[in-house]
Structure 1
Amino acid sequence: MLTINGGRLLARLQSFAEIGGTAKGGVNRQALTEGDRRARKLLAELAVARGFEVFQDPVANLFLWRKGHDATLPPLLIGSHLDTQPAGGRFDGALGTLSAFEVLESLEDQDVQCERSVVVVSWTNEEGCRFSPGCMGSMAFSEGMIPANWGDKVATDGAGFAEELALTIASLPEVAMLPLGFPIDAYLEVHIEQGPSLEAAGIPIGVVKGIQGTRWLDVTVAGQTAHAGTTGLAWRRDPLHALTAALSSLYAAVMPGDPDARFTIGRISAEPGSVNAIPEEVRCTVDIRHPDPGRLDEIEELVKSRIGQEAESHGCRAQFSRVFDMPPCVFSEPLREVIKDAAAVCKVESMPMLSGAFHDALFVNRIAPAGMIFVPCRDGLSHNEAEHVEPSGIIVGCEVLGQATLSLLEGRFSVADQSD
């Protein structure tokens, strides 16, 4: 077994939580902000102090490289992300990145000789809350290019993506640049579950089978603004009435009728936004998720049908735009077995599970075998300043990552084994 330094890992999590720390104990370190740049700089400094090489790429993914003996072998990639939600917790993303770095340091501490290089990655903008879409870094890495339309994106705070990306890259002038995307042998990521299943079952390790598909829709319902006090029901073309009626029926139909489905309205707005005027236009976002792509199609059509019908019945018109479409993915079965066996070596129980949230591993899985290790979080709470993982759970997750890493380095897994 690889012996990790649990105290060091816990201390590192604390020090990174102080970058963007909030009064309620959470972290606000959104992608490509000054806080994000400070976290990247600290991670790079820690890597250099241990003698690891540090690189970044054109989308600001950060790579910490422990060289193996054979430079011709594709490296093993382990890591996660450092950016957070505006009122996020201290473990979402950072736990995986710093656990991976602890594995890298432990390999160095114990002078583990490796034929293959091991590389820790911190992906750019996994959260997608400041710039959409999420998982920009892993998406660009897997595609080998930055989509042209990203250059025109504007953050929720008005900052331009191209400018913030350039500032982030320039903040580490001493770090060498790599081309976007390079061959890897496999990818492993530790993450908090962000749900209650592991805690409820009393099981410390989740072996992630795959990630459900996600679609985001932008919905606009247009009506007619009019005086709130003088316009009777027969003369109203109220888009908010139409939208809320449709949403009420969707809330009653989608998730109650399918336990694997997820339906969420994250944003809603009305214009002109006057207290004494019927809105002229209302907008909302729709987030739908399901592990079956066919059901995703069905739910999307149901959303469009219900909102469209209610809009028409209220004398309004509805428009829909699909702004994000991520198909479901299934992780490598042999790699899942490596993680399961690693948990057994560490003498902890594990269980297979599906991820309800999308992660960087989904995009890496398109170019190499990828696997994820989940650890429990209290009450399943995440994207929240109260997010919490027990120290013992943090250490166990890192130990399993370390053992799985050793198994891969010792050749117990090969890309040739893939049957998925």
Structure 2
Amino acid sequence: MLKTAGRLAAFVDQDRLWSRHMALARIGAFGQTGVNRPALSALDGKARRQLVDWGRAIGLAASVDPIANLFLELRGDQPDLAPILIGSHLDSQPTGGRFDGVFGVLAALEVMEALVAAGVPPRRTVIVVAWTNEEGSRFAPGMMGSAAFAGARALEPILELRDAEGIRVKEALAALAAAEDDLPCRPLGFRPAAYIEPHIEQGPVLEVAGNTIGIVSGIQGKRTFRVTIDGAEAHAGTEPHASRRDALLAAVEVVSALSRHFRDPEDITRFTVGRFTVTPNAPSVVPSRVVFSIDLRHPDAATLQALGDAIADISRANAGRCDVMVEPLLHDPPLTFAPRLRDKMAGFAETLGLRFQHMASGAGHDARHLARLGPAAMIFVPCKDGISHNEAESALPGDLHAGAQLLAETVEWLAQASNVDIEELAT
């Protein structure tokens, strides 16, 4: 067992960590620094293969589960003990950057490198995970792999979801599995002793405060909806306005009314319409149908409930002569990560001399679902100007290194912890 705090962190290699970020950034690269790597695509498969190759080079055993979550395992001296799980995801948004998700996976892999280099086998098995389809940009909703793993969503309905090209998850999984037929398949889900997910902040808080580490207190709640507004097609030159059922104009009114309703002086509520589809989308035809998405977030459960419940009535009241259907898609209430685990992490950050702060996450992450299974936590590092889901997304090598060092110290303690220690984290 490593007795000296900070010793395992010394084995975390900043140059190797950065080099691997740049290597994965070339898979799906566009523009100067952008990455477009859809979940369960050939590009995703290429990134996964690179991760497997890196892991196997230091003796890690690779496996997948039925939803294609990818695991790299360093077996502990007492494999009957619940394992430690660390990681994030490899898929990106269509206009993504080089660090979202990838940092968590590569920081976890770097911890494995450190454990192997230190020459002291962990008591508990430690497993790196790359979750399937966190982003939800190809198959919606996101966090598909972690949700299935944790039992938050049933597998069978997930397999029938389709992307914009009509391809089902089931079919995309089969294509990926054909390229990964050398990886054994493990059962879906298990209960880890703890889960830690490193991530870039995706916001400006750390950078503005001049801190290197965010110890994440929890994740704000999220509700998503699909709104369909039906009108009637008509000739743009002959149909009088008085008799039109223009779905696009109705949708604009609905979105404007919702935006006004959700605006708050403290700027806590987050309301986003990120997808807008118009039918028939022809210049000289009055639109007959509009379908748009709603992403609604708030850190207070009761407020989130009330705001989401108001959407249908507000939409109908502002749609004029058009019909409205509001479909709830997702409701994830706010959650708090394990306080005692966060306290441990704060102690390690102090020992390493890292400037840190406690902070909530405005974005959703796979850790949300893993918190259902046991103690979970997240580590944030700064990203330039808080920009993410954008080609301009950027992070400093030293900040990524610091986040991986904190992960290493936390994992080393967890990997040697007794069952009593783990039970105390959950209280």
Write the deviation string for residues 348-399 of structure 1: whole angstroms up to 9, x where unpaired.
1211111111111110110111100001101111111111001111111111
CA 1:252–1:339: 2 relative to 1, 3 Å: same
Q: 2:313 is matched by which residue type in structure 1?
A: S
Letter in 2 for 1:273: N
After superposition, give the CA deviation of every residue in 1:266-290 in whole Å (9 maximum; x if it has no partner). Answer: 1112222222222112111111011
CA contact (8 A) 2:30 2:36 kept: yes
Query: What's 2:333 paired with?
Result: 327
Instruction: Give the Å deviation of 1:407.
Output: 2.3
Q: CA shift at 1:331, angstroms?
A: 0.6
Give the letter for the 2:117 counterpart.
D
Aligned to 2:108: 100
Counterparts in 2 of 1:36 and 1:419: CA distance versus 1, 3 Å: closer
Tell me the SS of whatever aligns to 2:34.
coil
- Taking a change above 3 Å as real, the CA distance of residues 113 and 393 of structure 1, as seen in their structure-2 partners, is same
**C-alpha separation between the residues in 2 aligned to 1:354 and 1:390?**
22
Moved more, 276-285 or 230-239: 230-239
Whole-Å separation in 1 of the counterparts to 2:279 and 2:153: 38
- Cα deviation code 1:318-364 (max 9, x no counterpart): 11101222222111001111221121111012111111111111101
Check if 1:365 corresponds to 2:362: no
* 2:291 counterpart (277, 283, 288): 283
**Cα displacement (A) at 1:414:** 2.6
Contact 1:198–1:206, Cα closer than 8 Å, also in 2: yes
- Secondary structure, in 3 states, of the residue corresponding to 2:159? helix
State the TM-score, normalizing by the size of structure 1.
Answer: 0.95
The answer to whether structure 1 residue 73 and structure 2 residue 81 are counterparts is yes
Q: How many residues align?
A: 418
Superposition deviation, residue 261 in structure 1? 1.0
- Measured in 2, the distance between the counterparts of 1:127 and 1:144 equals 17
2:277 pairs with one of 269, 278, 281:
269
Q: Paired residue for 1:210?
A: 218
State the distance in 2 between where 1:115 and 1:272 align.
61
Aligned to 2:91: 83
Matches of 1:376 and 1:225 in 2, distance apart? 49
**C-alpha distance 58-25 of structure 1, shift in aligned 2 (>3 A):** same
CA distance in 2, matches of 1:251, 1:213: 18
How do residues 335-346 of structure 1 correspond to structure 2 at under 5 angstroms? 335-346=341-352
For structure 2, which runs of at least 5 residues remain unmatched after alignment?
A: 1-5
Per the alignment, residue 142 of structure 1 pairs with 150
Deviations 1:46-78 (A, max 9, x none): 111111111111111111111111111111111
Aligned-partner Cα distance in 2 for 1:336–1:324: 28
Shift of 1:230: 3.1
Q: Which moved more, 1:152-161 or 1:2-11?
A: 152-161
- Whole-angstrom distance in 2 between the partners of 1:166 and 1:189: 28
Tell me the SS of whatever aligns to 1:414. Answer: helix
1:414 aligned onto 2:421: yes
Give 1:232 shift.
Answer: 3.3
Which 10-residue stretch deviates more, 396-405 or 271-280?
A: 271-280
How far apart in 1 are the matches of 2:231 and 2:64? 49
Cα distance, 1:55–1:351 mapped onto 2, change above 3 Å: same
Task: Tell me the distance in 2 between the aligned counterparts of 1:259 and 1:194.
Answer: 17
Give SS of 1:177's match.
coil
TM-score, normalised by the number of residues in structure 2: 0.94
* Residues 351 and 71 of structure 1, relative CA distance in 2, 3 Å threshold: same
Q: Is structure 2 residue 359 aligned with structure 1 residue 353?
A: yes
In the other structure, the counterpart of 1:392 is 398
Q: Secondary structure at the match of 1:140?
A: helix
User: Is 1:375 aligned with 2:381?
Assistant: yes
Query: Which 5+ residue runs of structure 1 have no aligned equivalent?
Result: none
Tell me the CA shift for residue 185 of structure 1.
Answer: 0.4
**Cross-structure match for 2:194:** 186
How far residue 145 of structure 1 moved from its aligned partner, in angstroms, is 7.4
User: Which position in structure 1 is the counterpart of 2:251?
Assistant: 243
SS at match of 2:363: coil
For 1:142, the aligned partner's letter is A
Higher mean alpha-carbon deviation, 179-188 vs 246-255, is at 246-255
Alignment correspondent of 2:183: 175
1:309 paired with 2:333, answer: no
- Tell me the SS of whatever aligns to 1:208: strand
Q: In terms of mean alpha carbon deviation, does 148-157 or 26-35 score higher?
A: 148-157
Of all paired residues, the percent bearing the same amino acid is 40
Give how far 1:257 is off.
4.3
**Offset of 1:231 from its aligned partner?**
3.2
The amino acid of 2:66's aligned partner reads: P
Aligned-residue offset at 1:223: 1.8
Q: Is the 8 A contact 2:122 2:412 kept in 1?
A: no
Is 1:28 aligned to residue 26 of structure 2?
no
**Aligned positions of 1:4-83 closer than 5 A:** 4-83=12-91
Which sits farther off after the overlay, 357-366 or 316-325? 316-325
Q: Which amino acid aligns with 2:239?
A: T
How large is the RMSD of aligned CA atoms in angstroms? 1.7
C-alpha distance in structure 2 between counterparts of 1:303 and 1:257, whole Å: 20
